Amino acid sequence: MSSDDVDGNKILAEALVAQGVKYVFGIVGIPVIELSMAIQQAGLHFVGMRNEQAACYAAQAIGYLTKRPGVCLVVSGPGLLHTLGGMANAQMNCWPLLVIGGSCAQDHEGIGGFQECPQVNLARPYCKYSARPPGLTLIPTHVEKAVRLSLYGRPGVSYLDFPGNILAQRVSDSKVVHTAICPEPPLAWPDPALVSQAASLIVRSMRPLVIVGKGAAYAGAEVIVRDFVRTFNLPVLPTPMGKGVVDDNDFHCVSSARTTALQHADTILLLGARLNWILHFGRPPRFDPNVRIIQVDICAEELHNSVPAKVAIHADIGTFTRQLIQQLIGHAWALRYMSPWWGQLNSKSDKNKAVIMKMTQDTRIPLNYYTVFHHIQEAIPKDCIIVSEGANTMDIGRSMLRNRLPKHRLDAGTFGTMGVGPGFAVAAALWCQDYAPDKRVICVEGDSAFGFSGMEIETMFRYNLPIIIIIVNNNGIYSGFDEETFQSIREGGEVTKVTPPTSLSTNVHYERMMEMFNIKGHFCVDIPQLQRALQQSLQVKDVPSIINVMINPSADRKPQNYAWLTESKL
Ligand code: ADP
Ligand code: MG
């Protein structure tokens, strides 16, 4: 054996380094334990988590934040199967992710190998690329391709499969085919004729609206998009994770007149958002049936989806917006016709704000959502990263918690996945350590949502991550029951036949999970307690905190004009 012999683990670890990967999340076991060590020896972060799904959520959040895929490393069979939900979530959100699965040794395939499983095929529906490198020497080639496919075009997921025998094999380093780092994706430039068409539609519009989605956040287009809406005084509506591309506090942000803006806009400029359920499919009754849509997307196949666009532009949002500004300069005068539109939006917005303000002033116990969120918003740093999931908790929190900066909101997203919060928060906190050490991560969870990945609190503790978890606790899914009603429903009946499926145990002291680490959590039933808990948690810089806020189990959202977003019209 010559001294330049390397094994598959080392080749793979170094190939990840060569491709600019920095963070690996996962759970180790046979056959990837040595790989995880090789990964650390190569200088990468390895973050061991408590469930593969959560590891996969963390890896994809780091991909969204850094525009370089995070890796999720898992074991064979069940390990990879647990990861599929996370892969689907990343693929749906268009976030870059590289999943690496160990798999059973090739000579055990077909004869009942340990955790034998058709992993390349299982991963394929949730991926842009799913492959098993044919041997040691081609590992770097496949890693480069996997990273490239995760980043180029519409970002998404790659899966690479490594049988245990390949990882353990050795080969002379001189035989390994090394690859250069996959460069940043090419910027797609818009067709200038289409930019002109877009400009003339906007100039002729009486009621224009700019919708910014998380594609605009991913594009890093915030500076130019802010410049655009301010220069031409245009109203902007963010999607949930498009929040912060334009500051939520900016006068141009019309989130509090969302329904009016969508229903009455005559021209919509869609920047990096799909016309899916989140945007009511772009159709009536939420949209004007005659609305003219100018759609900008990096994914050509997305253009005209759900409704035909008047102008469909395949381009990066930054390059497009820069050119659009050039075309519009000199036409700003035309936009003066918009003043009635601004009047309509502002008056609706003022009305909605007044209704909400009133609800936030109700401090009766048990508390309501709006009061709780109002005081959270008052206390938290204005540039923090907000992670949020749950049903009402996420929906109400979206309007009450403001984002000043892009990519500062991570939530259940396009796929509406519950359980993402703690994993996203772990990734966000690591990102803060590297890029913004004073920034805090606030993870606002419904009590049901928290249950999916709650054990990641141990991960947060192990890696000294000062994440503040706030559990908005209403004893259930959507809503729960007070203690007395809960007990009386169950009395005498067979509990599994009578306990309402949406209910959870009442008054659960989730904050006591902190006692596993000899730390006290916070249990709050009123506003002064919540204020104190937030203040104290913000002082803590090296461990997570849990604040468990009890709210009225039948607290609800402000009445909506329309039924639940997902209600079918069939
Ligand atoms: P949201 O949930 O915020 O509405 P979506 O995930 O539905 O956002 O849509 C984001 C869109 O942004 C996707 O269609 C994706 O292809 C697109 N996208 C991603 N990056 C860019 C970019 N740099 N330029 C243009 N479009 C982009
Ligand atoms: Mg709940």
* Domain range for 162: 5-175
Half-sphere exposure (Cβ direction) of 377: Cα atoms closer than 13 Å? 19
Name residue 329's amino acid. Answer: I
**CB-neighbour burial class of residue 69 (10 A; exposed 0-12, middle 13-18, buried 19+):** buried
Q: Across all residues in the chain, what is the average pLDDT?
A: 95
Nearest alpha carbon to residue 553 among 487, 484, 473: 473
Residue 568's pLDDT is what? Answer: 59
Residue whose CB lies within 8 A of the most ligand 1 atoms, among 60, 236, 258, 317, for a mutation test: 317
Q: Identify whether the C-beta of residue 421 lies closer than 8 Å to the C-beta of residue 445.
A: yes
Indicate if 205 and 159 belong to the same structural domain.
Answer: no
Three-state SS annotation for 493-507: CCHHHHCCCCECCCC
pLDDT tens-digit profile of 485-502? 999 999 988 999 999 999
Residue 564's pLDDT is what? Answer: 43
Half-sphere exposure (Cβ direction) of 525: Cα atoms closer than 13 Å? 6
Any domain includes 514 = yes
Indicate if 67 and 28 belong to the same structural domain.
Answer: yes
Any domain includes 460 = yes
Q: How many domains does the chain have?
A: 3
Any domain includes 269 = yes
| CA-proximal residue: ligand 1, atom 9 (nearest) | 273
In which band, very low, low, confident or very high, does the pLDDT at 563 lie, cut at 50, 70 and 90?
Answer: very low
| CA-proximal residue: ligand 1, atom 6 (nearest) | 93
Q: Kindly state if the Cβ of 143 falls inside 6 Å of ligand 1.
A: no
Tokens representing 319 are: 């390059």
Residue 558's pLDDT is what? Answer: 67
Tokens representing 498 are: 């009578």
Tell me the CATH number at 257: 3.40.50.1220
* Confidence check: pLDDT of 473 > 60: yes
Residue whose CB lies within 8 A of the most ligand 1 atoms, among 297, 321, 565, for a mutation test: 297
Average pLDDT over residues 65-81: 98
Q: How far is CA 15 from CA 50, 75, 179, 258, 269, in A?
A: 26, 19, 8, 47, 41
In which band, very low, low, confident or very high, does the pLDDT at 2 lie, cut at 50, 70 and 90?
Answer: low
Minimum mean pLDDT among 331-345, 470-484, 552-566: which range? Answer: 552-566
Q: How far apart are CA 43 and CA 17, in angstroms?
A: 8
**Token pair 């604040």 in the structure block, residue:** 547
Indicate if 159 and 22 belong to the same structural domain.
Answer: yes
Ligand closest to the CA atom of residue 215: 1
Q: What is the CA radius of gyration of the chain?
A: 25
Indicate if 383 and 471 belong to the same structural domain.
Answer: yes
In which band, very low, low, confident or very high, does the pLDDT at 268 lie, cut at 50, 70 and 90?
Answer: very high
pTM of the entire structure? 0.97
Residue 538's pLDDT is what? Answer: 98
Average pLDDT over residues 173-190: 96
Indicate if 148 and 9 belong to the same structural domain.
Answer: yes
Indicate if 317 and 419 belong to the same structural domain.
Answer: no
The conformation of residue 249, written as its DSSP 8-state character, comes to: T
Any domain includes 242 = yes
pLDDT tens-digit profile of 23-64? 999 999 999 999 999 999 999 999 999 999 999 999 999 999
Tokens representing 214 are: 């998380």
Indicate if 198 and 144 belong to the same structural domain.
Answer: no
Residue 331's pLDDT is what? Answer: 80
**Sheet arrangement for strand 157-163:** 45-48, 23-26, 70-74, 97-103, 157-163, 129-131
Indicate if 389 and 520 belong to the same structural domain.
Answer: yes
**Sheet arrangement for strand 292-297:** 236-238, 208-212, 267-271, 292-297, 311-314
Average pLDDT over residues 421-432: 98
Indicate if 487 and 551 belong to the same structural domain.
Answer: yes
Residue whose CB lies within 8 A of the most ligand 1 atoms, among 195, 274, 415, for a mutation test: 274
| CA-proximal residue: ligand 1, atom 5 (nearest) | 273
pLDDT tens-digit profile of 78-94? 999 999 999 999 999 99
Tell me the CATH number at 506: 3.40.50.970
Percent of the chain with pLDDT over 90: 94
Which of these three, 318, 346, 374, is where a domain ends? 346
Residues 6+ apart with CB under 8 A from 392: 369, 446, 474, 478, 479, 555, 556, 557
Any domain includes 24 = yes
DSSP states of 148-208: HHHHSSS--EEEEEEEHHHHH-EEEGGGS---PPPPPPPPPPPPHHHHHHHHHHHHH-SSE
Residue 562's pLDDT is what? Answer: 46
Residue 252's pLDDT is what? Answer: 97
Indicate if 314 and 373 belong to the same structural domain.
Answer: no
Any domain includes 354 = no
Tokens representing 124 are: 């394929």
Q: Identify whether the C-beta of residue 269 lies closer than 8 Å to the C-beta of residue 209.
A: yes
Q: Kindly state if the Cβ of 425 falls inside 6 Å of ligand 1.
A: no
Any domain includes 185 = no
pLDDT tens-digit profile of 518-548? 999 999 999 999 999 999 999 999 999 999 9
Q: How far apart are CA 38 and CA 448, in angstroms?
A: 37
Bridge-based pairing state of the strands 208-212 and 97-103: unpaired
Residue 556's pLDDT is what? Answer: 79
Q: How far apart are CA 271 and CA 276, in angstroms?
A: 14
Indicate if 340 and 397 belong to the same structural domain.
Answer: no
pLDDT tens-digit profile of 297-312? 999 999 999 999 999 9
Any domain includes 352 = no
pLDDT tens-digit profile of 359-393? 999 999 999 999 999 999 999 999 999 999 999 99
Average pLDDT over residues 336-351: 90
Percent of the chain with pLDDT over 70: 96
Average pLDDT over residues 116-124: 98
* Confidence check: pLDDT of 111 > 80: yes
In which band, very low, low, confident or very high, does the pLDDT at 330 lie, cut at 50, 70 and 90?
Answer: confident
Residue 557's pLDDT is what? Answer: 72
Indicate if 445 and 498 belong to the same structural domain.
Answer: yes
